[in-house]
Amino acid sequence: MTSSQLTSRADSSARARKARSALVSYGGALLIAIVVFGPLYWMFITAIKPNVELFTSPPRWFPNDPTLQNFVDVLDPAFLQLLGNSLLVAGATTAVCISLAVLASYTISRPSGKSGKSVIVVVLVSQLLPPAVLLVPLYRSAESLGLLDSHAGLIIAYLTFTLPVAIWLLHGFITSIPVELEESARVDGLSSFRAYFTVIIPLARPGIAATAAYIFFTAWQDFMFALVFLTDEDKRTLPLGVLGYIGQYTINWGQLMAASILLLIPILVIFALVQKQFIAGLTAGAVKG
């Protein structure tokens, strides 16, 4: 056997291994893509099916006559009202929650964060409490304070599960900023509080953005509290409103899916914007603890 034959055989077995490896990679990637996008594809084609095609059985995988009519039908004043309510509630929750969490992080994380440990434990424990358990007492408190059927009541209720998460995430982002930066600002004569807001907070901006995105998303998609707190049609938020397309006997799947897509879009846009920081924050917290 000559040496060239040997190398060529080694070459071909290496090539075979490479081909097998590529097959695994692309086969696996295709599977993931099908799992993730398959249901989304169905959502999309249902939303663009004309009425006649919605109720053909067996269902069509490619609409014969795609239309945007469902979106036009969905986008009526009532839907815009729902959208406005959701934006208001989720936006206000995010603003209040982030302000409180930024303040809290000053005490917890700076400069050495010694006193912070017990606070973090409290925060974590409350993060892990079942929201359903808080539902009854919060409902009764809101009832006695006249906060039922009001957006303010809902926003306050959302702080129960957003505030702990926000403090926890921000604490992680802020402790990762070197203390030396703040110390040098203090040498320049700034008080600890001023140094925190002029030096640390600007540096933590990506982390704050990611935290805000998560809080917005949590409030945006909440269903349980909205279901219990809101009975007034004009006050309802989108997740509740979407269920309105489910009639007692029939379901208008086209409009339901069109409305769902409209509800999903803001979330996807926000996540596309802060995705890097968000995943970094999420995994950093989990990898370290």
Cα distance between residue 230 and residue 148, in whole Å: 7
Q: What is the CA radius of gyration of the chain?
A: 26
| 3 versus 227: smaller Cβ distance to other proteins | 227
Structure tokens at 258: 């069109």
Amino acid code (one letter) for 145: L
Cα distance between residue 237 and residue 86, in whole Å: 5
| 78 versus 124: smaller Cβ distance to other proteins | 124
Closest CA to 61 of 76, 44, 77: 44
| Nearest-approach distance from CB 213 to other proteins, in angstroms | 10
| 39 versus 84: smaller Cβ distance to other proteins | 39
Q: Is the dihedral of CA 195, 180, 212, 135 positive or negative?
A: negative
Give the number of residues written for the chain.
Answer: 289
| Nearest-approach distance from CB 4 to other proteins, in angstroms | 28
| Nearest-approach distance from CB 190 to other proteins, in angstroms | 12
Cα distance between residue 206 and residue 277, in whole Å: 6
Structure tokens at 289: 């603890």
| 72 versus 193: smaller Cβ distance to other proteins | 193
| Nearest-approach distance from CB 2 to other proteins, in angstroms | 29
| C-beta separation of 190 from 198 below 8 A | yes
| Nearest-approach distance from CB 50 to other proteins, in angstroms | 15
| 59 versus 146: smaller Cβ distance to other proteins | 59
Cα distance between residue 171 and residue 44, in whole Å: 39
| C-beta separation of 177 from 203 below 8 A | yes
| 19 versus 36: smaller Cβ distance to other proteins | 36
| Nearest-approach distance from CB 3 to other proteins, in angstroms | 25
